[in-house]
Amino acid sequence: MKEIGVGIIGMGTVGAGVVQVLLENEAEIIRRLGARLNLVAIADKDVESDRGVAVPRDLLTTDVSRVVENPAVAVVVETIGGYEPAKSFLLRAVDAGKHVVTANKALLAVHGDEIFARCAEKGVDIGFEGSVGGGIPILRAVREGMAANRVTSIYGILNGTTNFILTEMKEKGESFERVLKEAQRLGYAEADPTFDVEGVDAAHKITLLATMAFGQKVPFDAVFTEGIREITPQDIQYAADFGFAVKLLAVAKYDGRRVEVRVHPTMIPSDHLLADVRGVYNAVYVDADFLGPTMYYGQGAGRRATASAVVGDIIELARNVRMGTAGRVPPRAFQESALAQAVLKPIEEVRCHYYLRFTALDKPGVLSKITGILGEYNISIESVVQKGRDAGQAVPLVMLTHEAREADVRQALGEVELLNITLGAPALIRVEG
Amino acid sequence: MKEIGVGIIGMGTVGAGVVQVLLENEAEIIRRLGARLNLVAIADKDVESDRGVAVPRDLLTTDVSRVVENPAVAVVVETIGGYEPAKSFLLRAVDAGKHVVTANKALLAVHGDEIFARCAEKGVDIGFEGSVGGGIPILRAVREGMAANRVTSIYGILNGTTNFILTEMKEKGESFERVLKEAQRLGYAEADPTFDVEGVDAAHKITLLATMAFGQKVPFDAVFTEGIREITPQDIQYAADFGFAVKLLAVAKYDGRRVEVRVHPTMIPSDHLLADVRGVYNAVYVDADFLGPTMYYGQGAGRRATASAVVGDIIELARNVRMGTAGRVPPRAFQESALAQAVLKPIEEVRCHYYLRFTALDKPGVLSKITGILGEYNISIESVVQKGRDAGQAVPLVMLTHEAREADVRQALGEVELLNITLGAPALIRVEG
C-alpha cells in the first residue's frame, strides 16, 4: 500500500489531537484514502512532556528541519499558532516542496497574500479548513459546494468564547465581567481574552471567508471590529423584548462592486437559526445567488474538532500526492491570478437598523428632542420604549430605528450628547436580518 | 484558455437550471476553475418548447448519442430523473469514457452498486451532490469534511414536501389532506405525492448518505419507511405540549457492528436545531467521533438550488479533467473495494422512546389495564395525559414511554387492542434526541 509521509510542527493541544486522530482512526482513513498516512516526525521545543497521546519517542525532535526538510515527509502540518516562528517554519516547508496544512487564522489573515503566493510559486497545496469554524467544513462548502454561485452575504458566529459569554449573560442575567471569569475558569476563555472578546479572532476568520466567498482580497486591517465588553444583561433583555437575540456576528456582504466586512455585537431576530446557536458552538449562514441561503453549524474550536479539520486537510492533500497533482483547487476558491483587490465600503456608509439605549432624564420633552435630532439626520424610529418611570431621574430610553446610515447615526448621537439631557454615551447595537 | 466540454441529457426543470447557471455565472466559474465550461450539446425528446432559458437552438438535439458519444464532451449531465431511460443513457456515457453528473437519488439508491462499479471499471468520475439535500453540500461534507472521522449517526430532514406539510399542519392546525392540497396548488407537492408523503424519497436519500457516512453498503429495500399520512394536527399539538416537534426524519446509526436506517415521523425536542427547520427547507444533523455534531441547512429542492449542486459537480469533475486525474476521491467516500455490506439492525430491535395516543373509554381501570400490559413488555411510562373528560365515551389518552424495544411495543399494542377498551389502533410516533 502506498504511504504518504506526514510531519508535524508543534505538539500542543491541536498537534496532540492530530496525532490522536491519525492513531485512533488509522484503519478508517485507509479505507477512505486507499493509502496510509505515515507519521514521520514531530518537532517541538519540548519533547519530554506527556500530552496524553502515545507517540513513539523516536518521532519527536527539537530540530524542525527533521520535519520541514525531511525527504520522507510529503505533508507538513503547522500547529504552533501565532505569527512567528510559525510563518518561517511554514515557508521553509513550502520552499522544500512540502504541501502544508495549518489552522492558523491569524497568520493567514495577516500574511495570507505572501503565503498563498509562495505556495502557488512552489506548486504546493495548502489546507486550512481548521482556521475557520473549527471542525465545520465551511471552507470546503464555500470553495467547492458554492463553486457555481456568486456569494452575496455571510453572517457568522465565528468565535466560541464570545458566544459562550453572550449565551450565559442571557440565560443567567449576569454581567460580562462575571461570565468572563466563569469562562476562564472553564477553559473557554484565555487568561488574556483580548483577541476573543474584542472580536479580533472573528475578524481574522471573516477576512479569510470573505476573500474566498467573493473572490475579492480583503485586507485584515480593513475589517471594522467592535467587541462585546460594552454589552450589558439589560441590553440583552431589551433586545429579547423587541424579539431579537444579541450575537457577536461577523458580517460580509458583496454587492458586485463593493465589499463590506465587519465584526460587532449584532441583534438578529429570535426566530433566525443563528439565534439558537448556544454556548461555544459556531455557525455560518451564507447566501448565494443560485444556492440560496445555507447554514453550517458545529464546534468552532477544541482539540478534537480542530484535529478533525486538520486531518481532513491532510487526507485531501494526500489524495493529490497519490494522484501526482497539485493546484487542482485554488486555496482561496478563486485562481490566485483572478483574485481582485476588494473595493471596501467604509463603515460610515454601512446602512442597517440600530438599537439605541439612552440613559435619559425622565422629564417632558426629552424624547421629542432626541427624536428631533435623529430625524434631522434621516433616522426614523421604528419603536421606542421608556423602561420604568422616575421623574427627574435618569431612566433607560430604548429605541429601534429604521434603516439608517452609520455616519448619520454617529453624528446624531454626538449632537444628542451635547444637549445634556442624557447621561454618558448611548449603547448602540446594529441590527441585521 | 482550456475548455472542457459539457453535455446535458434532459432539458426539464433541473436541466434548464443548469444551463441558466452556466450562462449567468460563466465569468465567475472561469475565475474559480481557471478553464471554461463549454456547453456542447443538450439532448431531449422535446427540442421545441421554451424553458425560459436562452439556449442556442443548434445545441439541442433529440439524438442522445450526440451527447453521450460526442468526442467534444468530457462531462455528461443526466437530469431526466427516474430509472429508465436515465440509467441506460448514464451507463452509455460511462462506457464512452465520459465523467458523469446526476441528481437522481432514486436511480443511485436502487442501482448504485452497478453504476458506481461501472464508473470505477471505466475510470471515470461521478458527481451526485444534487441527489441529497438539493443544493446543500452535504455529500462533500460527509465525503471530505468528515474524512478523518468515524460517523456514528445521521438525522435528516431530507424531503421538503413533507416538511412543508408538517410545518403548515402545525402552524395552521389543519389536516394532512387539506395541507397536501395546498402544497399541490403551490407546486410543493406533485399530483401523485406518494414518493414524498410515504417517505420513499427520504429513504432514497438516507440510503446514499448512510452508505457514504459509515462505509457500509445499505440496500434501499432494507430501509424501514413510514410516511406522514396518519399524522393529525392533534398529535402535533400534543407533541408540542410535551416539548417536542414532529418531523419526517431519516435516521441512520452505526454502532461499529450494525447499521440501522429508517424513515418515519419523529418527535424531536423543540429546542433542537432540526425542530426550527420550517417549510420546504432541508437539514442534516451528523455526529462523528472527533468532529462532534454538525448541522447543514438549506433548500432541499428547486430548480436553482439543485442546479447549483449539479454545476458544482461539473466544476469538480472539470478540475479532474484539467489535471488529467480520475478516481481521486471515491464517490461513496470509501474506496469501492473497502465498502462492506452492512449488517442491518431490523426495525423490531430498534430501541427508542415512543409517543402513543390511544382513543380510550373514559372509565375507571382503563389506564391501569393499558399500562399493565405495557409493563409486562418492559415498557415504562414517562408521562401520561388524558385529554379531556367524557364519562363512558372515548377520549384521547396520550403517553410518552421510556426507552423501549420496537418489537415489545408492537406486541403490547396488539394485546391492548384485544381488550376492547380502545377504539382503533393507537397513534405511534417514535421519539429521538
Report which of B342, B389, B382 is spatially closest to residue B362, judged by C-alpha positions.
Answer: B389
Q: Is residue B95 part of a domain?
A: yes
With beta carbons less than 8 A apart as the criterion, state whether B122 and B99 touch.
no
Cross-chain Cβ contact B290/A297 below 8 Å: no
Indicate whether A425 belongs to any domain: yes
Chains A & B: contacts with CB separation below 8 Å = 223
* Whether residue A249 is found in the same domain as residue A289: yes
- Distance between CA atoms of A64 and A56, rounded to whole angstroms? 17
Nearest to B290 among A305, A314, A335 (CB): A305
- The string of pLDDT tens digits covering residues A200-218 is 999 999 999 999 999 999 9
Block residue for cell numbers 451528523? B286
Helices first, then strands: H and E counts in chain B = 14, 19
ipTM of this predicted structure: 0.96
Give me the pLDDT at residue B387, please. 84
Q: Any residues with CB less than 8 A from the CB of B213 and at least 6 apart, and which?
A: B142, B146, B151, B154, B252, B254, B286, B333
| Cα–Cα distance measured from residue B204 to residue B132, given in angstroms and rounded to the nearest whole number | 9
Nine-digit cell at A409?
Answer: 447615526
Tell me the shortest Cα–Cα distance from A366 to chain B, in angstroms.
42
pLDDT at B324: 95
Identify the pLDDT of residue A433: 87
- Cross-strand partners of B404: B352
Which residues of A form the catalytic set?
205
> Which of A31, A141, A290 lies nearest to residue B304, judging by beta carbons?
A290
Q: Which of B288, B316, B337 is the last residue of a domain?
A: B337
Same domain for A171 and A119, yes or no, is no
Per DSSP bridges, beta strands A216-217 and B75-78 are: unpaired
- The answer to whether B315 contacts A129, with C-beta atoms less than 8 Å apart, is no
User: How far from chain centre, in Å, is Cα A375?
Assistant: 36
pLDDT at A49: 86
Please name every residue paired with A427 in a beta bridge, in sequence order, or none if there are none. Answer: A357
CB contact under 8 A, A297 and B299: no
Q: Look at residue B326 and tell me if it is in a domain.
A: yes
Q: Which of A25, A31, A147 sits opposite B32 (nearest CB)?
A: A147
DSSP letter, residue B179 = H
Q: How many residues does chain B have?
A: 433
Q: Report the pLDDT value the prediction gives residue A334, as an integer from 0 to 100.
A: 98
Close Cβ partners of B160 (under 8 Å, ≥ 6 residues apart): B134, B188, B279, B280, B281, B282, B299, B300, B301
Q: Which chain A residues are Cβ-neighbours of B325 within 8 angstroms?
A: 323-325, 328
The whole-angstrom distance between residue A308's C-alpha and the CA centroid of its chain comes to 18
Angle CA B185–B190–B191, to nearest 5: 80
pLDDT of residue A392: 78
Same domain, A12 and A30: yes
* Chain B residues closer than 8 Å to A136 by CB: 145, 294
Bridging pattern class, strands A340-341 and A216-217: parallel
Closest CA to B205 of B244, B248, B152, B172: B248
Inter-residue contact B186 to B326 (CB < 8 Å): no
Cβ-count burial A388-425 (b if 16+ within 10 Å, e if not):
eeeeeeebbbbbbbeebbbebbebbbeebeeeebbeee
Residues of A in contact with B136 (CB under 8 A): 145, 294
Task: State whether A29 and A104 are in the same domain.
Answer: yes
Distance from CA of B335 to the nearest CA of A (A): 6
Nearest to B338 among A31, A135, A298 (CB): A31
Q: Establish if A339 belongs to a structural domain.
A: no
- Contacts of residue A100, defined as CB under 8 A and 6 or more positions apart, other chains included, come to A75, A76, A77, A78, A90, A93, A94, A119, A124, A125, A126, A127
d(C-alpha B355, C-alpha B134), whole Å: 31
How far apart are the C-alpha atoms of B127 and B139, rounded to whole Å? 10
Q: Which of B37, B308, B335, B336 to mutate to test the interface with A (most CBs of A within 10 A)?
A: B308
pLDDT at res. A331: 98
β-partners of residue A282 are A298
CATH of the domain at B84: 3.40.50.720
* Domain contains A177: yes
B150, B299, B335: residue with CB nearest A292:
B299
pLDDT number for residue A68: 97
Domain count, chain A: 3
Helix axis angle, A176-186 to A160-172, nearest 10°:
120
pLDDT tens track, chain A, 433 positions:
899 999 999 999 999 999 999 999 999 999 999 999 999 999 999 988 888 888 888 999 999 999 999 999 999 999 999 999 999 999 999 999 999 999 999 999 999 999 999 999 999 999 999 999 999 999 999 999 999 999 999 999 999 999 999 999 999 999 999 999 999 999 999 999 999 999 999 999 999 999 999 999 999 999 999 999 999 999 999 999 999 999 999 999 999 999 999 999 999 999 999 999 999 999 999 999 999 999 999 999 899 999 999 999 999 999 999 999 999 999 999 999 999 999 999 999 999 999 999 999 888 899 999 999 999 999 999 999 988 888 878 899 999 999 999 999 999 999 999 998 999 899 999 999 8
Return d(Cα A427, Cα A233) in angstroms, integer. 12
**How does pLDDT run along chain B (433 residues), one tens digit per residue?**
899 999 999 999 999 999 999 999 999 999 999 999 999 999 999 988 888 888 888 999 999 999 999 999 999 999 999 999 999 999 999 999 999 999 999 999 999 999 999 999 999 999 999 999 999 999 999 999 999 999 999 999 999 999 999 999 999 999 999 999 999 999 999 999 999 999 999 999 999 999 999 999 999 999 999 999 999 999 999 999 999 999 999 999 999 999 999 999 999 999 999 999 999 999 999 999 999 999 999 999 899 999 999 999 999 999 999 999 999 999 999 999 999 999 999 999 999 999 999 999 888 899 999 999 999 999 999 999 988 888 878 899 999 999 999 999 999 999 999 998 999 899 999 999 8
Range(s) of the domain holding residue B246: 138-299
Asked if A338 and B149 come within 8 Å (Cβ–Cβ), the reply is: no
Residue-level pLDDT at A55 = 86
Question: Residue A24: enclosing H or E segment and its boundaries?
Answer: helix A13-24
Co-location of A146 and A260 in the same domain: yes
Q: Write out chain A residues lying below 8 Å of B338, CB-based.
A: 30-32, 34
Contact residues for A137 (Cβ-Cβ < 8 A; gap 6+): A129, A296, A309, A312, B140, B141, B144, B145, B146, B294
* A-interface mutation test, from B23, B28, B291, most A Cβ less than 10 A away: B291
Query: B314 is written with which cell numbers?
Result: 461539473
Cβ–Cβ under 8 Å, residues A43 and A8: yes
Q: What pLDDT does B389 receive?
A: 82
CATH of the domain at B407: 3.30.70.260
Q: Identify the pLDDT of residue A51.
A: 85
Residues A225, A364 within the same domain: no
Q: How far is CA B74 from CA A172, A245, A252, B112, B325, in A?
A: 59, 50, 36, 22, 13
Q: Do both A108 and A255 map to the same domain?
A: no
Shared domain for B72 and B128, answered yes or no, is yes
User: For residue A141, which residues of chain B lie inside 8 Å, CB to CB?
Assistant: 137, 140-141, 145
CA A86 remoteness from chain centre: 20
DSSP A228-258: STT--HHHHHHHHHTTEEEEEEEEEEE-SS-
Would residue B342 count as lying in a domain? no
pLDDT at A168: 97
Q: Is residue A103 part of a domain?
A: yes
Give A134 to chain B, closest Cα distance, Å. Answer: 9
A343 occurs within a structural domain: no
Predicted pLDDT of residue B54? 85
Nine-digit cell at B115?
Answer: 453504476
The CATH number of the domain where B166 resides is what? Answer: 3.30.360.10
Phi, psi of B396 (to 5 degrees): -70, 130
Answer yes or no: do A292 and A309 share one domain.
no
If we measure between CA atoms, which residue out of B47, A91, B264 comes closest to residue A102?
Answer: A91
Chain A nearest-CA residue for B136: A294
Please give the Cα distance from B427 to B354 (Å, whole number).
10
End-to-end CA distance of chain A: 52
**Domain closes at, from B269, B299, B329:** B299
With DSSP H G I counted as helix, E B as strand and the rest as coil, what are the percentages for chain A, rounded to 5? 40, 25, 35
C-alpha distances in Å from residue B59, one per residue of A424, B6, B56, B317: 69, 11, 6, 21
Helices (H), A247-355: 303-323
- Are B176 and B268 in the same domain? yes
Spatial distance between the Cα atoms of A307 and B292, rounded to a whole number of angstroms: 11
Distance CA B67, CA B64 (A): 5
For cell 472527533, name the residue: B290
| pLDDT score for B141 | 98
How high is the pLDDT of residue B57? 86
The residue type of A328 is R
Does residue B171 sit in the same domain as residue B251? yes
Quote the CA–CA distance of B139 and B94 in Å, as a whole number. Answer: 21
Q: What is the pLDDT of residue B5?
A: 98
Gap between the Cα atoms of A145 and B130, Å rounded = 10
Measured in angstroms, the CA of A70 and the nearest CA of chain B are apart by 24
B150 and B109 part of one domain:
no
CA-based nearest residue in chain B for residue A23: B148
- Which of B4, B289, B290, B296 should we substitute to test contact with A (largest number of A Cβ atoms within 10 Å)? B290
Q: What is the pLDDT, as a whole number, of residue B134?
A: 94
